[in-house]
Structures are given as structure tokens and as C-alpha cells.
């Protein structure tokens, strides 16, 4: 070990350690500080050794947590000492204490410069290490030439090169704009990857990684070198690397850094480089299967560190399905390992694998194990990872099971992760709901078992879904009513239940168990237990009741008049009570009905839940970002308000239409675009139009145009790059799962793989309809943006009506055919409330745009619509007839559809029932 260093320092440290109390320690320190101050002030003849010793004592005192406000000058003086150890302590003091000091900066820089120019490499290294510790803008400017020169010069010692590389890295990180690296040096810097000395290569990769991130094209040459270096390491025996072998693993640090460097680029294009890289990855996966060479944890850690980084690279490239599946199997083994660390990391990596189409299915095989982890892991952070993975592996096929498991776990879950779990359950059950009554069951259960953790976004969303889906509203009213009957009911349940009954209470009012009065009494039994904000919401419900159930108006007016509301100390309650009461007194029923009209549907934007989840976990949700553009949710303060929200949301819808026009050609969307623009916000994409924006997020926009002749639809797809950089490796595919495969035949031209900034590319193709269909195809888009892989999956809005051809006929003919189509499965009839103002021309236009005819003068009632069409499939033409009867008083429609082929009427009904 060392020669005996500074005895005075050792004595001082023991003194401090022997202090019995904090006070004694303070006294001892103050005594020492006084002593040092005197020495520095009085004794101009202090020699270097003494200065070094006192500066060291100051350092020690600083590290104990005390402020040091003197001695800086003495420390800087030490820098110019020609004794190494004095210099070294001077640099240490500067690095530890003065990391952003001011006045002496120039003096320090001057000293560093002197040392950098020294002929003694150990002096040079001290200076470099100091810059690597505290380097800043001024140093970047001062040494913009000296340090790179040291790095690439042929006669620099290896140890100096290593320090110089990481010193440059520090300067690059703190002020990359001040550091001017000559492009002539690029090739030589890259070639450090090949340096014979593994230490030099290890240090250099870190620098190159940072330079690559700033300028990937300039440093592209590093890919080949990195692959070949990696290949040489992984194919060698561990004995080849002497001291760079760590517990039988050859150069793990260098390997990991190289594997990370490669994650800055897409898979190598040169086939030979690519296959060499694949071999490396294969070898690493193979080695993971070999028996351990040592029982020491260091061996397995180092080996698995390389393995996990290799898997990261495999996931990043996301193109070799065999590697992805092997990686998945390997991680599956780790899920059962007794090392908690490995289980934790395996769960984390599997989340990424679940997002890849190649390995998603392979991940799902481990569902049981992951669910077990949720139940049996003792470490909450591991359980958290298990939840993340369940969320990532969820899809339509397993959603019901997984949601059930997560709900079960939620009841006993740690408080720290409950809110996030609630969000995840809410998102999954909505995203994969086949049946929205299931969704509602889940959500109400969620509120019941974890009401405190249900954030506003979650219950807002429940209401948005119910408002937007007419088919589920009466069920919603029924179960909300039932939920409110529970003796202890969470306040969030009261909010949701209150809101739903206010909108749709009428749908269950005929049931003697839930008459208007019973509904009202039930809700009012909760009223006094709720916070003012909830009471305000309930008051709005009461107001809506007055419209839905005029018979209980007096009871409600009485409540509003009651002192606890009318003279409430809460201003908002008082205001609502006063205004609602007045409104109910002065308005006639028609005016009241207009004011309290049913809520219009919300525009389908990105779910605010995803936004919320992303805020909670900014890095986890890379795959969740595929939904649509970042939502500006208009309602984050109060519950969804009665009228303001609707207006606000409609503005958004118009804004969306504004973007839409940018891709449409003027002739393709005549005047009707304007006339329906404020209605079509919730319309299914491409349903009534022949051109539409079918997907959009912050990066890209996808537009479609279509034109059909008989059973063939000619399609033009436009992919627009919204960013200021190139999108590369662009690919877009449309898949026809299941039955669709036999119903549709697609034929698309290939497209370019790169989209220039702010430009769009066009793809043309045809879709042939072979037989009628119900499901939607899915569209997968993937590309690289800033070297980040982006994947987007969404339903491709191709509906059966695109193949309808108008049919014209007279009244006799129409009714003759109508009567002929009288088998049970040939007809479908539904009654539904109007979602939009009941304007004749709007309806007429929609029916025409749907594809079939709208025949005038057929029906005896001029308000009704009738028409006919033929669905062209290449196997058979399918005739279809319809009759739409508006009832303006009840604000309802009755739609009847008949078709020659059984089941088709139902399908057409599904498309239209929420569109009027």
C-alpha cells in the first residue's frame, strides 16, 4: 500500500471519530478551521506539504457536510506545484468542492493548460481527469484543440488517450456547441474502436456513442467496426483477454457498450455485416444456455448483463423473428430464476418484447408465470414490473382474463401502485371491450374496490364512453342504479351513478323497481354525505330529472329551495340551486327540454387515460403512443359540464376537420363537407366520405381516397410526414385477420421506404370484395423517426357500405321487394335516440353518402326516408332496402333494413345506428 501519508490528517480524523457528541465534533471542527485560517493568513512561508495537508483537512470537513468558504486560493496554488502529490490534492479539492466556482476559473484553466502541455504523462492525466470531473463551457472553449489532439495523436500513451476520450465526452455533454470537433478527426476517432488496447476502446466507445447521437450520419462508419470488434470478443475464449476477462466473461463492459452503440442505428444494411451481427447475437444467446463456469454471482451477472444488452439490441432492430422468440424464451426461463434481480429485469425486458409483433405471441405463453409473480413476489418493485408486463401483453384474446386477474390483485395491491393499476385496468377494459356492458361491469367494480384511487380521468372516461355508445346506455343506467343501492358507496360511484341517471334514468324508469321517484330518493340519500363538488354534480342531475320526469319536479324544486342549498355556504351550490330553481320556474317544458337536452357524443380523441399514464411513467409507454394525437382533454377541472364541454369539444372537432381538408382534393368533397362538418365528429372514419384522414398523431398523418366500381374499390393512401426529419424504413401493411381473409382480396403497390420532412407519399391499390364481411382489417405502420422505432396499429376503416351501388325504383317495385324479404334474419329494426339535430337534408345527405339511394315520394309520410342498394361482391349481389322514420317529438329514429342475404341487414344496422 501507500507510504505513510499525512499524519496530521490522520490524527485529526481520529479526533473527530472520538468525539462523543455532535457538539464536541463541532467544537473540534471549529478549532481546526480557526487553526487552518490562521496558518493560511499569517504564514506566508507555508511549504507545499503543509498546504496540501490543510487543504486535505478542509476537504474532509467538507465531506462531513460542513460548508467551506476559504482555502480556495491555497488549493489553486497547489496546482502549480511541481510535486505530483501536491498537485493531485489541489485538483481533488477543485473537483470536489469548487465544481462551479467563479473568480479563479481563469487561473485554474491556465494551470490545466500548463499541465496538458507538460511532458510528464501523469501530469497530463491529472489535468484531464480534472476536466472530466468539472469541465464546462469555458473549458470546452479553452481546450477545443488540445484535448482532441491528445486523443488522436499517434504518440500519446494509452492511459492518456483513455482519459482524453472521456474528458472530451464531458465537454461534449456540457457544451457540445462550444466544442468544435474537426471533421477530419472523425475517421480517426471511429478507428479507436479498433484500438489494440481494450481499455482505449472501452473509453472511446462511450465518446463515440455520444457523438453518434448528435451526428449519426457522420459517424455511420462506426457500425461496421463495432460489429467486427464485438464479433471478435464474443467468439473468443475468455482466456484470450487476460485482465479484461471478468469472471470468465470476456470484456463485458466493452461488449455492453458496443451493443448499446449499435442501438443508435437501424439494422445494418450491408448483408454481410448484418449476418455477422446476427451471428454475434446468436452466440450470446447460445452462451446463456451453457452451464455456468463459476458459482459466483459476478460470473452470472456479467454474462447476463451482456445477454440483456443483446436482447435490447434485438428488440431495437425488431426484424429477426427467430432472435426475438429466442430472446423471449430465455427471459421466460429467468422468470423462474431464484435471483430477484433476474426476475425483475426479465419482466422489464419482456414488456418491450410484447410490443413487437414477432414476439407478442411468445410473450403471451408466459401469462401464467407472470400472474403468479403478481401473487407471490415479495418485492413490490417486481410486482410492479409484473403489472407492467400484463398490461403490455394484453390483447383482444386475453383481455378478459388479464383484467380479471388485475382486478383480483388490486384488492390487495400495494397502495403505491394502485392508482396506476386502476388506470391500466380502465384502459385495457375499454380498448379491448368486445361488449361494452362488460366494460361497464369492470369499471363499476373498479370504483367499488379502489374508489380512492380512481382519478378524475378514469370516471370522466366512463361517462364519455356511455355518452358515445347508445347501445349501452340503458344497461349503464341499470347497473349504476344497482351500484348506488349498496349501503356504503364510494363518492366516485355517486358521481358516475348520478351523472348516468341524469342522462339516461328515463331508460329504466318503466321498471317499477326504479321509478323516477325511487331513483331520485336513492340519489338524494347520498347527497348529504358527499363533498360540495359532488353535490353540485347531483344538483345538475336533479335538473335533468326535471326534464326527464316532469312528475317529480315539485320534489326537486323543494330540494333546491331548501336552505342547505339555496343558502348554502358553498358559493357554487348556492348558485346552482338558485339558477336551476329559477330556470325551472320560468321556462316552459319545450325550452327546458332544449336546454337540458341529452349530451352530444364526445369526439373520439386519444383517451385522456393514456395521457395520464404517460405523465406517470414517461418512459414506459412508448407503445401506448400509437393511439392517436396527444389529447387536449377539455374537461380536467370539473365533471363533464352540461353545456360548456359540448361547445368546447365541438370546436376541437372543427379544428380536426381543418387538418383534414389539407389532404383532400377540392373536388372530392363538395359543399356537404361544410354542412355536416359539425355533425361528423363522431362519425366512423371513411363511412360517409370517399376521402378521409384515417390516422394521425404527432409524427404522421394517413389519408385515404376510394372509388368503387362493382366489387372493386380503388384506394389511394397518402402517408404524410409531419416532422422536420426523415422517416426511414417506412412500411405500411393491411392485414385481414380471420374470416376477412376469405372476404377481401387486397392488392397494393409497393411504396418508398423514406418520407422526406413535411412531405407525403402515395400508395395505390385495389380491394376486391368476395363476400360480405363484418370485421375491420388492421393496418400496421412502422418506421424509424430519429432512430426510434415507431409502430402504429389501428383498425382500417373499410366498411361493407363501400361496395354498395345505388338502386332506383318506383313505389310499387319497392314495396313488392320489401314484402319479399320477410324471413326473420333478413330484417333488422332498431329504435334509437337522435344524436344530432334532426334536419331532413342532413339525413338525406348521409343516406346518399352511405351509398344507397334515397328515394323521394315512396313513403306516404314525407318525413320518412326510403331507399335501396346493391352490395356488389364477386360471389353474389346482395340487395338491400331500408326505411328510416324520424320521430321529432321523441327525438328518436326507427330504422328498418332488409336484405336478400341473411345477416347483412344486421351489419348495415351496426354501421348506421349511431350516426343520426
Residue 749 φ then ψ, to 5°: -70, 150
8 is in an annotated binding site: yes
49 is in an annotated binding site: yes
- With b for 16 or more beta-carbon neighbours within 10 A and e for fewer, the 128-163 pattern comes to bbbbbebbbeebbebbbebbbebbbeeebeebbbbb
Of 581-620, binders to another protein (CB under 8 A) are 618-619
In the complex, the smallest distance separating the C-beta of residue 35 from another protein, rounded to whole angstroms, is 7
Near another protein by CB under 8 A, which window of 86-94, 430-438, 656-664, 740-748?
86-94
Output 21 or 812, the one with its CB closest to another protein: 21
Of 36-75, binders to another protein (CB under 8 A) are 49, 53, 56-57, 59-60, 63, 65, 67
In the complex, the smallest distance separating the C-beta of residue 183 from another protein, rounded to whole angstroms, is 23
Contact pick of 136, 279, 361, 842 for another protein (by CB under 8 A): 136
In the complex, the smallest distance separating the C-beta of residue 430 from another protein, rounded to whole angstroms, is 27
In the complex, the smallest distance separating the C-beta of residue 421 from another protein, rounded to whole angstroms, is 16
Near another protein by CB under 8 A, which window of 300-308, 368-376, 414-422, 758-766?
300-308
In the complex, the smallest distance separating the C-beta of residue 22 from another protein, rounded to whole angstroms, is 12
Query: CA-to-CA distance for 761 and 66, rounded, in angstroms?
Result: 64
Measured CA distances, 319 to 112, 351, 353, 465 (Å): 49, 17, 12, 37
Contact pick of 29, 32, 493, 565 for another protein (by CB under 8 A): 32
Output 84 or 415, the one with its CB closest to another protein: 84
Q: Provide the 3-class DSSP secondary structure of residue 665.
A: coil
Of 766-825, binders to another protein (CB under 8 A) are none
Query: CA-to-CA distance for 420 and 440, rounded, in angstroms?
Result: 19
Query: CA-to-CA distance for 516 and 246, rounded, in angstroms?
Result: 77
Which residue is associated with the grid cell 476536466? Answer: 131
Query: CA-to-CA distance for 90 and 53, rounded, in angstroms?
Result: 10
Contact pick of 111, 156, 202, 721 for another protein (by CB under 8 A): 202
In the complex, the smallest distance separating the C-beta of residue 562 from another protein, rounded to whole angstroms, is 50
Contact pick of 76, 78, 179, 198 for another protein (by CB under 8 A): 198
CB atoms within 10 A of CB 210: 15
Radius of gyration of the chain, Cα coordinates, nearest whole angstrom: 36
In the complex, the smallest distance separating the C-beta of residue 386 from another protein, rounded to whole angstroms, is 12
Measured CA distances, 760 to 220, 309, 702 (Å): 27, 36, 9
How many residues are recorded in the chain?
Answer: 916
Contact pick of 61, 75, 167, 543 for another protein (by CB under 8 A): 167
* Planar angle of CA 229, 235, 241, nearest 5 degrees: 70
Contact pick of 58, 76, 79, 92 for another protein (by CB under 8 A): 92
DSSP string covering 430-491: HHT-SSHHHHHHHHHHHHHHHGGG--HHHHHHHHHHHHH-GGGHHHHHHHHHHHHTSSS--H
In the complex, the smallest distance separating the C-beta of residue 676 from another protein, rounded to whole angstroms, is 46
614 is in an annotated binding site: no
The residues, any chain, with a CB within 8 Å of residue 636's CB and separated by 6 or more, are 456, 457, 608
Contact pick of 61, 140, 166, 447 for another protein (by CB under 8 A): 166
Near another protein by CB under 8 A, which window of 8-16, 101-109, 553-561, 858-866?
8-16
Output 301 or 887, the one with its CB closest to another protein: 301
The residues, any chain, with a CB within 8 Å of residue 704's CB and separated by 6 or more, are 686, 691, 692, 693, 694, 715, 716, 717, 718, 797
Of 410-449, binders to another protein (CB under 8 A) are none
The residues, any chain, with a CB within 8 Å of residue 497's CB and separated by 6 or more, are 480, 481, 483, 484, 489, 523
Query: CA-to-CA distance for 218 and 189, rounded, in angstroms?
Result: 11
Output 100 or 183, the one with its CB closest to another protein: 100
437 contacts 465 by C-beta, under 8 angstroms: no
Q: Is 203 in the site for another protein (CB under 8 A)?
A: yes
7 is in an annotated binding site: yes
In the complex, the smallest distance separating the C-beta of residue 83 from another protein, rounded to whole angstroms, is 5
Query: CA-to-CA distance for 102 and 428, rounded, in angstroms?
Result: 55
Of 224-253, binders to another protein (CB under 8 A) are 242-244, 246, 251-253
Query: CA-to-CA distance for 415 and 128, rounded, in angstroms?
Result: 48
What x/- string results for residues 116 through 135 when contact with another protein is judged by CB under 8 A?
------x------x--xxx-
In the complex, the smallest distance separating the C-beta of residue 635 from another protein, rounded to whole angstroms, is 29
83 is in an annotated binding site: no
The residues, any chain, with a CB within 8 Å of residue 384's CB and separated by 6 or more, are 417
Which cell goes with 635? 374537461
DSSP string covering 337-360: -S-HHHHHHHHHHHHHHHTSTTTH
56 is in an annotated binding site: yes
Q: Is 264 in the site for another protein (CB under 8 A)?
A: no
Of 449-478, binders to another protein (CB under 8 A) are none
Which cell goes with 232? 471478435
In the complex, the smallest distance separating the C-beta of residue 153 from another protein, rounded to whole angstroms, is 18
Count of positions on this chain that bind another protein (CB under 8 A): 86
Sign of CA dihedral 211, 216, 221, 224: positive
Output 71 or 601, the one with its CB closest to another protein: 71
Torsion angle, alpha carbons of 278, 309, 311, 699, to 10: -100
Output 312 or 853, the one with its CB closest to another protein: 312
Q: Select from 149, 130, 76, 129 the least CA-distant residue to 106.
A: 76
Contact pick of 151, 254, 743, 807 for another protein (by CB under 8 A): 254
DSSP string covering 180-237: ---GGGHHHHHGGGG-SSHHHHHHHHHHHHHHHHH-TTTTTTHHHHHHHHHHHHHTS-
Near another protein by CB under 8 A, which window of 85-93, 550-558, 661-669, 853-861?
85-93
In the complex, the smallest distance separating the C-beta of residue 241 from another protein, rounded to whole angstroms, is 9
134 contacts 125 by C-beta, under 8 angstroms: no
54 is in an annotated binding site: yes
Residue 840 φ then ψ, to 5°: -55, -50
390 contacts 371 by C-beta, under 8 angstroms: yes
Output 244 or 358, the one with its CB closest to another protein: 244
Q: Is 5 in the site for another protein (CB under 8 A)?
A: yes
In the complex, the smallest distance separating the C-beta of residue 697 from another protein, rounded to whole angstroms, is 22
Measured CA distances, 595 to 547, 642, 800 (Å): 9, 9, 38
Of 530-559, binders to another protein (CB under 8 A) are none
Output 18 or 654, the one with its CB closest to another protein: 18
Pairing of strands 700-709, 727-735: unpaired
55 is in an annotated binding site: yes
Output 162 or 854, the one with its CB closest to another protein: 162
Contact pick of 27, 37, 83, 655 for another protein (by CB under 8 A): 83
What x/- string results for residues 322 through 351 when contact with another protein is judged by CB under 8 A?
------------------xx-xxx------
In the complex, the smallest distance separating the C-beta of residue 327 from another protein, rounded to whole angstroms, is 15
Q: Is 98 in the site for another protein (CB under 8 A)?
A: no
Of 352-391, binders to another protein (CB under 8 A) are 378-379, 381-382
Of 668-687, binders to another protein (CB under 8 A) are none
Near another protein by CB under 8 A, which window of 296-304, 564-572, 633-641, 793-801?
296-304
Contact pick of 77, 175, 301, 398 for another protein (by CB under 8 A): 301
In the complex, the smallest distance separating the C-beta of residue 210 from another protein, rounded to whole angstroms, is 9
Q: Is 3 in the site for another protein (CB under 8 A)?
A: yes
| Bind-site residues | 7-8, 49, 53-57
Amino acid at each position: 500500500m501507500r507510504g505513510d501519508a499525512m499524519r496530521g490528517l490522520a490524527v485529526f480524523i481520529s479526533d473527530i471519530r472520538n468525539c462523543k457528541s455532535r457538539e464536541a465534533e463541532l467544537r473540534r471542527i471549529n478549532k481546526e478551521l480557526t487553526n487552518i485560517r490562521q496558518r493560511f493568513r499569517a504564514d506566508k512561508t507555508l511549504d507545499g506539504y503543509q498546504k496540501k495537508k490543510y487543504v486535505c483537512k478542509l476537504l474532509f470537513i467538507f465531506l462531513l457536510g460542513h460548508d467551506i468558504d476559504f482555502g480556495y486560493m491555497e488549493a489553486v496554488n497547489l496546482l502549480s506545484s511541481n510535486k505530483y502529490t501536491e498537485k493531485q490534492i489541489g485538483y481533488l479539492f477543485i473537483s470536489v468542492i469548487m465544481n462551479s466556482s467563479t473568480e479563479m476559473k481563469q487561473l485554474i484553466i491556465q494551470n490545466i493548460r500548463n499541465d496538458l502541455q507538460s511532458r510528464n504523462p501523469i501530469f497530463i492525466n491529472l489535468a484531464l481527469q480534472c476536466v472530466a470531473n468539472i469541465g464546462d463551457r469555458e473549458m470546452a472553449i479553452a481546450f477545443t484543440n488540445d484535448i482532441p489532439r491528445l486523443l488522436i495523436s499517434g504518440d500519446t500513451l494509452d492511459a492518456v488517450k483513455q482519459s482524453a476520450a472521456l474528458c472530451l465526452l464531458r465537454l461534449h455533454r456540457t457544451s457540445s456547441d462550444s466544442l468544435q470537433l474537426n471533421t477530419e478527426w472523425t475517421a480517426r476517432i471511429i478507428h479507436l474502436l479498433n484500438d489494440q488496447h481494450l481499455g482505449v476502446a472501452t473509453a472511446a466507445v462511450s465518446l463515440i456513442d455520444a457523438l453518434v447521437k448528435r451526428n449519426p450520419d457522420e459517424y455511420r462508419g462506426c457500425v461496421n467496426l463495432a460489429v467486427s470488434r464485438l464479433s471478435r470478443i464474443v467468439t473468443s475464449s475468455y482466456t484470450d483477454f487476460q485482465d479484461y476477462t471478468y469472471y470468465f466473461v470476456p470484456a463485458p463492459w466493452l461488449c455492453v457498450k458496443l451493443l448499446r452503440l449499435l442501438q443508435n442505428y437501424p439494422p445494418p444494411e450491408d448483408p454481410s455485416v448484418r449476418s455477422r451481427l446476427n451471428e454475434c447475437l446468436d452466440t450470446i444467446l447460445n452462451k446463456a444456455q451453457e452451464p455456468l463456469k463459476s458459482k459466483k454471482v459476478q460470473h452470472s451477472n456479467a454474462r447476463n448483463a451482456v445477454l440483456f444488452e443483446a436482447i435490447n439490441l434485438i428488440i431495437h432492430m425488431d426484424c429477426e423473428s427467430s432472435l426475438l422468440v429466442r430472446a423471449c424464451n430465455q427471459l421466460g426461463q429467468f422468470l423462474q430464476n431464484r435471483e430477484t434481480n433476474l426476475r425483475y429485469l426479465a419482466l422489464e425486458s419482456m414488456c418491450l418484447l410484447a410490443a413487437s409483433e414477432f414476439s407478442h405471441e411468445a410473450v403471451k405463453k408466459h401469462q401464467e408465470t407472470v400472474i403468479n409473480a403478481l401473487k407471490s413476489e415479495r418485492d413490490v418493485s417486481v410486482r410492479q414490473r409484473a403489472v407492467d408486463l400484463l398490461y403490455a401483453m394484453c390483447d383482444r384474446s386475453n383481455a378478459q382474463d388479464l383484467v380479471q386477474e388485475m382486478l383480483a390483485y388490486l384488492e390487495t395491491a400495494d397502495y403505491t401502485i394502485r392508482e396506476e393499476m386502476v388506470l391500466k385496468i380502465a384502459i385495457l377494459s375499454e380498448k379491448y371491450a368486445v361488449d361494452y356492458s362488460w366494460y361497464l361491469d369492470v369499471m363499476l367494480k373498479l370504483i367499488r374496490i379502489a374508489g380512492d384511487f380512481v382519478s378524475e380521468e378514469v370516471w370522466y372516461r366512463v361517462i364519455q364512453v356511455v355518452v358515445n355508445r347508445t347501445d349501452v346506455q340503458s344497461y349503464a343506467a341499470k347497473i349504476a342504479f344497482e351500484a348506488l343501492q349498496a349501503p356504503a358507496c364510494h363518492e366516485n360511484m355517486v358521481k358516475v351513478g348520478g351523472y348516468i341517471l341524469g342522462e339516461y334514468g328515463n331508460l329504466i324508469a318503466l321498471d317499477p323497481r326504479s321509478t323516477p321517484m325511487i331513483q331520485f330518493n336513492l340519489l338524494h340519500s347520498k347527497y348529504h354525505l358527499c363533498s360540495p363538488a359532488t353535490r353540485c354534480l347531483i344538483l345538475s342531475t336533479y335538473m335533468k330529472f326535471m326534464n326527464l320526469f316532469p312528475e317529480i319536479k315539485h320534489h326537486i324544486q323543494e330540494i333546491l329551495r331548501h336552505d342547505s342549498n339555496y343558502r348554502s355556504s358553498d358559493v357554487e351550490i348556492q348558485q346552482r340551486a338558485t339558477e336551476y330553481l329559477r330556470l325551472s320556474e320560468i321556462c316552459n317544458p319545450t325550452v327546458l327540454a332544449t336546454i337540458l337536452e341529452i349530451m352530444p357524443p364526445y369526439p373520439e380523441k386519444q383517451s385522456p387515460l393514456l395521457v395520464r399514464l404517460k405523465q406517470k411513467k414517461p418512459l414506459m409507454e412508448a407503445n401506448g403512443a400509437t393511439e392517436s394525437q396527444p389529447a387536449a382533454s377539455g374537461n380536467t377541472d370539473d365533471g363533464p359540464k352540461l353545456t360548456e364541454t359540448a361547445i368546447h369539444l365541438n370546436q376541437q372537432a372543427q379544428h380536426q376537420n381543418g387538418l383534414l381538408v389539407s389532404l383532400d382534393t377540392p373536388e372530392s368533397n363538395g359543399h356537404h363537407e361544410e354542412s355536416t362538418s359539425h355533425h361528423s365528429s363522431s362519425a366512423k372514419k371513411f363511412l360517409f366520405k370517399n376521402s378521409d384522414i384515417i390516422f394521425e398523431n404527432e409524427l404522421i398523418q394517413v389519408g385515404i381516397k376510394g372509388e368503387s366500381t362493382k366489387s372493386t374499390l380503388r384506394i389511394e393512401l397518402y402517408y404524410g410526414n409531419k416532422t422536420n426529419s426523415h422517416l426511414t424504413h417506412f412500411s405500411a401493411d393491411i392485414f385481414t385477420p380471420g374470416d376477412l381473409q376469405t372476404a377481401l382480396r387486397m392488392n397494393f403497390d409497393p411504396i418508398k421506404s423514406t418520407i422526406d420532412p413535411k412531405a407525403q407519399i402515395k400508395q395505390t391499390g385495389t380491394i376486391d370484395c368476395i363476400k360480405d364481411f363484418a370485421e375491420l382489417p388492421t393496418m400496421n405502420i412502422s418506421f424509424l423517426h430519429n432512430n426510434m422505432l415507431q409502430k402504429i396499429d389501428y383498425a382500417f376503416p373499410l366498411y361493407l357500405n363501400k361496395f354498395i351501388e345505388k338502386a332506383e325504383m318506383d313505389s310499387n317495385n319497392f314495396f313488392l321487394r320489401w314484402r319479399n324479404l320477410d324471413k326473420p334474419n333478413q330484417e333488422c329494426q332498431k329504435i334509437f335516440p337522435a344524436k344530432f339535430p334532426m334536419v331532413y337534408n342532413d339525413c338525406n345527405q348521409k343516406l346518399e353518402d352511405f351509398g344507397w339511394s334515397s328515394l323521394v315520394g315512396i313513403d306516404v309520410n314525407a318525413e320518412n326516408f326510403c331507399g335501396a342498394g346493391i352490395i356488389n361482391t364477386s360471389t353474389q349481389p346482395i340487395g338491400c332496402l331500408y326505411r328510416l322514420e324520424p320521430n321529432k317529438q321523441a327525438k328518436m329514429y326507427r330504422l328498418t333494413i332488409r336484405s336478400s342475404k341473411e345477416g347483412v341487414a344486421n351489419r348495415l344496422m351496426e354501421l348506421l345506428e349511431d350516426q343520426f
